[in-house]
Amino acid sequence: MGDNPQEAAAMLLQQQQQFASMATMPHNAVGGSKKQRELYIGNLPPTANEGMIKELFCNLVAACEGFVPMGGPPVLNAQIAGGGQFAFVEFRDEQLCETAMQFNGIDLQGRQLKIGHPNGYIPPMTPVQQLKPPKALLERFGLTGGIVGDRVAAGVTQDTKKQRELYIGNLAVGAVTPVMLKELFTVPLSTLPEQAASQLPPVLEARVDPNGKFAFIEFASEELCTTALNLFNGMELCGREMKIARPAGYVPPPAGAAAGMGGMGGMMGGMGGAGGLGGGMVPQPPPGLPPGLAGLVPTPPSVPPPAAPNGDKPMPTHEISLGGILSAAVLADAAEYAECVEDIRSACEEHGKLLHFSCPKEGEPDAGNAYLKYEQIASAVKAFEALNGRDFDGNTVKATFLSAGTLQA
């Protein structure tokens, strides 16, 4: 080839064309860790399998406007866990992962899937641009008038997320959970007159850092976010004053814009039963007050940790009971009992390290139940959310938090 100038020129031209093709091909870099590209998929139907889930999300994402097939398969892996109750889906990049979040509530064999970020997810400094699902696709799955449609109509998009989000710092490590934070903020904000006509809850998501030191809370609107900042900053939770601020990437509104929901201040006198909030009118800083002067505004009274969503259950703890998880027929068959116990243990270990696990046998007190104690309270909360109300071998599981110290490690 070296002795033939024409052949050498042709080869050089071919190499240049290949290089140009590679340089202009869209790249979907795998940004961040696996947790940044992974989603939790809950409320799966009993017949769901990994192939079905992978195919579903591949088709959904690939149908969105702007999808680039040359980047490779949109879904890298789908793994079912929790005894078939939920799954984790890994996408090829963060953009496709965030795009799939728009399908929260999609119907799969009669079950509305619950889609969210897993524990360990860290919100990016710059919002990730989502691809746009076609209207026909949303209508096909009944989402235009449901969760996705309501969010879009209310302006709840990825582009506005930083405006609707708050950073919650100085948390009591190991004591504060996403459930606790969501309940604390939701109860008082839900009583606003403006919320009566809203199709969305005031708090959409609460995410606690894996180390438990800080959290991010996403609200349904920027007005609710501002009201929450004025109301809760400096409030005591589990013995520590919360330090609440705007996240990186927040853009202040133009001068003169409303700083919050006007109805909140006048309502505070009658909210003594809302998560421990009480007293009279809560002063709010004027619009555009610099963050450094926020401390000059009197803070609301301290509150104890909020009650669990249902008053008959204790606060989230490390310990859980799973009522009615084993039927009388299973208890009567030693071989089937042993097999089911191993299945239950495996499902529970998906959520974190267990310090205690037991399933009383036939003839023993509380036979048919399972008892768990996790090393981390966050693991217990995750297990509660995944297992409560689920079907296990034909039985509906009732999960209950136990008082601390009920079970021995």
Separation of alpha carbons 299 and 243, rounded Å: 12
| Neighbouring residues of 187: CB distance < 8 A, sequence distance ≥ 6 | 274, 275, 306
CB atoms under 10 Å from CB of 180, counted, come to: 24
Alpha helix (H) residue ranges in 75-143: 94-100, 135-140
Q: In 144-284, where does DSSP find H-type helix?
A: 147-153, 178-189, 222-232, 263-267
Which of the given ranges, 129-138, 184-193, 346-355, has the highest pLDDT on average?
346-355
> Residue 9: in which H helix or E strand, if any?
helix 5-24
Nearest to 324 by CA among 381, 399, 407: 399
Mean pLDDT of 187-198: 78
SS3 11: helix
Q: pLDDT tens, 136-180?
A: 777 777 665 444 445 555 566 667 788 889 999 999 888 888 888
Residue 274 pLDDT class (50, 70, 90 cuts): very low
Q: What is the pLDDT of residues 345-400, one digit of tens each?
A: 888 888 888 999 999 998 888 888 999 998 887 778 888 888 888 877 777 888 88
Instruction: Say whether pLDDT at 277 is over 90.
Output: no
* Contact residues for 234 (Cβ-Cβ < 8 A; gap 6+): 241, 242, 243, 244, 295, 299, 300
Q: What is the pLDDT of residues 290-335, one digit of tens each?
A: 343 334 333 433 444 444 444 443 467 888 999 988 888 888 888 8
